Chain A
Amino acid sequence: MIENALEIRHITKTFGPVVANRDVSMDIRKGEILSVLGENGSGKTTLMNMIAGIYYPDSGQIFVNGKEAAIRSPGDAFALGIGMIHQHFKLVDVFTAAENIVLGLKEGKKFDMKGAVEKIRAICDRYGFDITPDQKVYDMTVSQKQTLEIVKVLYRGADILILDEPTAVLTPQETDRLFQVMREMKADGKSVVIITHKLHEVLAVSDRVAILRKGEYVDTVETKDATELSLTEMMVGKKVTLDIDRPVVKNKKLRLAVEKVSCVNKEGVTVLDDVSFEAFGGEILGIAGISGSGQKELLEAIAGLQLVGEQSSITFMDPENGDEPVPLVGQNPRKIKELGIHLSFVPEDRLGMGLVGSMGMTDNMMLKSYEDGKSFFIERKAPKALAEEIKEDLEVVTPGINTPVRRLSGGNVQKVLVGREIAAAPAVLMTAYAVRGLDINTSYAIYRLLNEQKEKGVAVIYVGEDLDVLVELCDRILVLCGGKVSGIVSGATKEEVGLLMTKVGGKDPAEGGMTE
């Protein structure tokens, strides 16, 4: 007889106008490893956050061990034996491992650090964790921090462990270790839930797979009956015809050559590894990949906002100067502009990077051009005219062009940003998640704008997450996986792209046929 550790019934959760989960029902069994699979934005994390007490559902019920439970805080979840390991670790850097583990606990009368350390050691021995209780968190590697989070959850006596994309930050070897640990926990009778979108991991570690798509529950299948293809189909759904135009532009010209770009982030993790590609004027180059595969760093490297490794080379062919090659490595945004290069960039963080939230449209128009001219004073006439024009052309809904853009809705904010970047008459236009959080109409307006640019001969780079859109909109798609290029394809189906997204180690010979 199969016993359920946890049952979810008809859970719906909305954030403002966005429905994150709609009427989801599923079970977690005792002593199993369950994968929760879905694309970015499919509502996996939101759903699990409701089990862990981070969010509270708008409607629906959760049963733990057959009893209905109201989980209002992480504390409630702990009391029910539920522990979640978040993608962003919740650790205090200057504390030791042991201090982080006992933080917030109220066990016993006396504060017994020694006893706690012994208990931690016992847990570590049992599962073979490599954690030194008195090591400071700031001295730990990412993998150690994650282990610490797991120990923390186990220390609190969790029977249901939820891991939110745990392998995103791990090396293959570390991933294998983690899977081993998960199996041992399962053998111990615990339920382990792993949120992921990597198919091979699903197949490698889990007993069952629950699939979510666009906030809705699709199905749960036994892993032994599943294949990468069957899972992909369920994850991405039936092919949706979006009717996004893809005009053909003749006479494409090489505009940007990226060679051997590598990049290490603040934590010392390699986020870009030997990335090479070319972008042509008159085409849209899509960049696909699981979030955090290096998309952000790649665009920032081109824009001059990211330090890159020594071998790296980024070359721009200047159309205004007879396609003269100009090296971009080592430049900052201002220098790039001073070189006369029209490089536009719509970053992912719209209000935290692309725009100044407290300023109106007019002032945001001049963010990159305010320095023009010799005058000490700022020139607002042209930006004001531009703001009016964008408001008119893109139908930006705002009380006025001087209303702080922070007050506008997400779609209007994006129109302001994209409008400005396009108005700069770019030779290269880079966009990161340009339609994230936007409604259908605004999304199509953005696609239209990108296509217009393409037809003007601009090299458009489109980092996206919706594979349907990528496949229909882009001429070619570069797929990033773990900071490496796992393929550059044209005319591929979204299943093929989806498979490339989850390839470890980049170029798999089997996919060679699709790689250019």
Chain B
Amino acid sequence: MLNNLIAWLIRAIPFGTIILYGSMGETLTEKSGNLNLGVPGIMYLGGYAGYLCGYLYENHAANPNAFVCVLLALLAAFAASALGGLIFSFLTITLRANQNVTGLALTTFGMGVANFGGKFLLNESGYSSAPFSNAAFAYKILPGADSTGIFGKIFLSYGFLVYMAIIMAVILHFVLNRTRVGLNLRAVGENPATADAAGIHVTLYKYLATCIGAGISGLGGLYYILDYNNGIWNTSDQIEALGWLAVALVIFTTWRPLNGIWGAYLFGVLYWLYQYLPNLLGITISTYAIDLVQMIPYMVTIVVLIVVSLHKKRENQPPASLGIAYFREER
């Protein structure tokens, strides 16, 4: 019983970490008023670039160093995803293309690049692995993972990206709510005309938030490949569903990174519900019903969306200018 519960949590937390990165990045982006539906594509880009970098490094370096490997992969993932964000920014902010359509095109593009590159550059099988990079990323950096019993198992036994996600969520929360930059950014997303009148460079804020946000989202893809998926590149559509789940999580958390921490793990718990709950309750669920359970995170998100729109509590609403291009108009 207890073992089941522990095992459940141990699976839920890494799963949550993937979408936590995705949703943090998207939260930052949306706070600037940009609705980037390219998250799945961006996570593909990040995951692939990070993987490629690690793979090439460990196969070409004479004496691969774990730290260098991690650093290179992180940089590559962030840069590639931020580049995706830059494409989106240029099209929607400078060229004023529709955000929804551009985001979806970015998803197509990102998936294409990652899967094409994955197959073409790595090997033709569409499957390859980077065990060294995986070991570097999955290395349990916290002491006591094995010596503190259940506590260690549940809380200390993950790669560093799990903890970095939590730290980043806290930092993001701090930046958004306690700094001048965060205040200005939120003003841009809420009321760009007012921000403009207050002397804030609206375009610059939008660009930076979208690109950095995309970079953070991309780390989710990196974590998925190099840690969660044991360093195996598998050309498939797996990341896409995770990307949309990250978008759902943004809504679920009502645009608050701190909510994201528990929200992401809750989504993880819900995702793995089908495997552990029947055992815990001592019942058997028909295999076909398992899939039904998978829709729970989305259902919960829909409920949150509805409740938020019914309640009309101002703090929980999406940024007021979300999805709308801003340009200063002369009379």
Contacts and interface: CB of A to CB of B under 8 A. Distances in A.
A contacting B, Cβ–Cβ less than 8 Å: yes
A133 to B, nearest CB: 14
B29 to A, nearest CB: 18
A interface, how many residues as a size bin? 20 to 34
A137 to B, nearest CB: 9
B108 interface: no
A367 interface: no
Nearest to A105: B180
A234 B274 CA distance: 82
A106 B186 CA distance: 16
Find the residue from B180, B191, B195 having the highest chain A CB count within 10 A. Answer: B180
Contact of A104 (B190, B200, B320, B330): B200
Nearest to B199: A75
A103 B183 contact: yes
A111 B183 CA distance: 10
Find the residue from A99, A104, A138 having the highest chain B CB count within 10 A. Answer: A104
B199 A74 contact: yes
A106 B200 CA distance: 10
B175 to A, nearest CB: 10
Contact of A90 (B184, B198, B320): B198
A78 interface: yes
Nearest to B178: A111
Contact of A136 (B191, B198, B199, B314): B314
A458 B193 CA distance: 44
Contacts of A111: 178-180, 183
A136 B314 CA distance: 10
Contact of A103 (B179, B187, B314, B330): B187
Given A74-B199, A104-B200, A92 B184 contact: no
A307 interface: no
B195 to A, nearest CB: 7
A104 B184 contact: yes
Contacts, number: 62
Interface in A69-84: 73-75, 78
B199 A104 contact: yes
Interface string B291-331: 00000000000000000000000110100100000000011
Contacts of B330: 15
A90 B184 CA distance: 14
A123 to B, nearest CB: 18
Interface of A is mostly: loop
A54 B193 CA distance: 12
A21 B276 CA distance: 75
Nearest to A111: B180
B197 interface: yes
A204 interface: no
Find the residue from A78, A92, A111 having the highest chain B CB count within 10 A. Answer: A92
A113 B183 CA distance: 11
Interface string B161-196: 000000000000000001110011011001101110
A81 to B, nearest CB: 15
A113 B180 CA distance: 9
Interface string B14-52: 000000000000000000000000000000000000000
B190 A103 contact: no
A102 B183 contact: yes
Interface string A92-106: 111100010011111
A447 B143 CA distance: 87
Contact of B191 (A75, A92, A105): A92
A93 B187 CA distance: 9
Contacts of B315: 94
A91 interface: yes
A102 B180 contact: yes
B197 A74 contact: yes
Contacts of B200: 103-104
B188 to A, nearest CB: 10
A74 B190 contact: no
A15 B329 CA distance: 12
Interface in B84-115: none
Interface in B195-227: 195, 197-200
Contacts of A75: 199
Given A92-B187, A94-B190, A95-B190, A103 B195 contact: yes
A105 B330 CA distance: 24
Nearest to A20: B331
Given A111-B178, A138-B314, A90 B183 contact: no
Given A90-B191, A93-B190, A103-B184, 10 more contacts: A78-B199, A91-B191, A92-B186, A92-B191, A93-B314, A94-B317, A94-B320, A95-B187, A103-B195, A106-B180
Q: Which 5 A-B pairs have the closest CB atoms?
A: A104-B198, A75-B199, A111-B180, A90-B194, A104-B199
Interface of B: 178-180, 183-184, 186-187, 190-191, 193-195, 197-200, 314-315, 317, 320, 330-331
18 contacts: A15-B330, A55-B331, A90-B191, A90-B198, A92-B186, A92-B190, A92-B191, A94-B315, A94-B320, A95-B183, A95-B186, A103-B183, A104-B184, A104-B195, A104-B198, A104-B199, A106-B180, A113-B178
